[in-house]
Amino acid sequence: MRVRLIGIGVCYVLLLLFSIFVIAGAKKRAFGHRFIRSDTDVVHGELYEMCKINRFREDIALMKGDATGKIEDADIITIGDSFFGSALASRKFAAELEAVSGRPVYHVENTGKFNSSQVDMPLAYLESISCKRGPNRVLVLESVERYAAQRAKSCQKSWNDVHSWKSDNGYYKERILDTKDIEYFFSNNILSGTANKFLQNVRFDLLGIVNLPVVYHSEVSDMLFYQEEVEFNRSSKGEETIKETADNIACLARKLRDRYNISLVYVILPQKYSLYSARFGDPYDGFIPRLVTEMRKRNVAAVDMYSVYSAQMKLHPDRPLYFGSDTHYNREGKLLLVREIMREITEQNHKRLTNGI
């Protein structure tokens, strides 16, 4: 009995020490960083980071270099989500667009100044920086397809709405109450993180199970997908949703033109799963082409990247457009988008801007 109690005591003390280590590592960043391996200029794909399965690990260089334009003198302004913020194996979208167009491009980063997402509320953002009506400019507004309808609803919100929306979320969890950092530190430190990684790989090797929210299909073995993308692909998007979204975007385009003399080019980027879903017996419901058609009916300049990428994939099936371990496009996918944006700008005859391009 005595031996048993000593054993229990030792186990408990070890457990207690480990608990203290995890909590301290999570809450005291300077301490925690010592126990986490991290690269500053190479990443391995966000989906890989979620599931930690070695087979999908890629080394993707993080590229430096932003667009150099300023908001006051930029011909093209870009607002978008993580696709526009992505610098995986190529510079950010705005920098590539600036290089190709030869015109000053200003990219609106998600900074602390504006506490909501600019891509959700571009009008509110322009209000918040006291943007003035000036010579004609182009706003390239991008959204990944699964958020397009939702963002179209909020995109016309004014600064006052945002201000009150901000106080809507009147409470902020103090850092001490947040437990996500504990989860992160546990999964990534050199002790339990290593054990966790080993476990994930054993689960995958034995059972083929990959941790949600990552979805893995053995039919395309080099690719991981994001569960939200899969769910979006499978959900039904009725004509009403499509028309309402198109109406909202058209309204935004009118307001931008009337208030700021800004021409809108709207881009909906396909999710990786939308491009590959047919291989798993999940047909794509044509959300992007349908929405783009509706937007064009309302005279909104819109780019159908689903059709562009699909055509490219048929032409070069061996050249991927997205990273296998990430949800974002690779360099080739990004450059195709740049090309299409330039074509759209030209076609829409934004005279002041496109003269000489």
Residues at the contact surface with another protein, assessed by CB under 8 A:
4-5, 8, 12, 15-16, 19-20, 22-23, 164, 167-171, 173-174, 177-179, 182-183, 186-187, 199, 202-203, 206-209, 211-213, 215, 217-218, 231, 234-236, 281
CB of 154 to another protein, least distance (A): 16
- Tokens found for residue 218: 């053995």
CB of 215 to another protein, least distance (A): 8
Q: Could you give the count of Cα atoms lying within 13 Å of 244 in the half-sphere of its Cβ?
A: 12
Residue 99 or 198 with smaller CB distance to another protein: 198
Report how far residue 350's alpha carbon sits from residue 352's, in angstroms, rounded to the nearest whole number. 6
Residue 153 or 352 with smaller CB distance to another protein: 153
Residue 99 or 212 with smaller CB distance to another protein: 212
In sequence order, which ranges of 66-220 are alpha helices (DSSP H)? 82-85, 93-101, 122-128, 145-154, 159-168, 180-188, 192-207
CB of 201 to another protein, least distance (A): 12
CB of 275 to another protein, least distance (A): 19
Report how far residue 121's alpha carbon sits from residue 103's, in angstroms, rounded to the nearest whole number. 25
Residue 22 near residue 182, CB atoms below 8 Å: yes
Residue 137 or 237 with smaller CB distance to another protein: 237
Residue 7 near residue 186, CB atoms below 8 Å: no
CB of 27 to another protein, least distance (A): 10
DSSP conformational letter for 81: S
CB of 344 to another protein, least distance (A): 33
Give ∠ CA 54-51-30 in degrees, rounded to 5: 95
CB of 39 to another protein, least distance (A): 24
Report how far residue 335's alpha carbon sits from residue 325's, in angstroms, rounded to the nearest whole number. 19
The amino acid present at 187, given as its one-letter code, is S
Residue 186 or 329 with smaller CB distance to another protein: 186
Residue 234 or 316 with smaller CB distance to another protein: 234
The amino acid present at 170, given as its one-letter code, is G
Beta strands 262-269 and 137-144, pairing class: parallel
Measured CA to CA in angstroms, residue 350 lies from 29, 30, 240, 245, 251 at distances of 49, 51, 30, 24, 19
Instruction: Give the sign of the dihedral formed by CA 210, CA 212, CA 218, CA 222.
Output: negative
Residue 30 or 207 with smaller CB distance to another protein: 207
Q: What is the distance of C-alpha 80 from the center of its chain?
A: 8
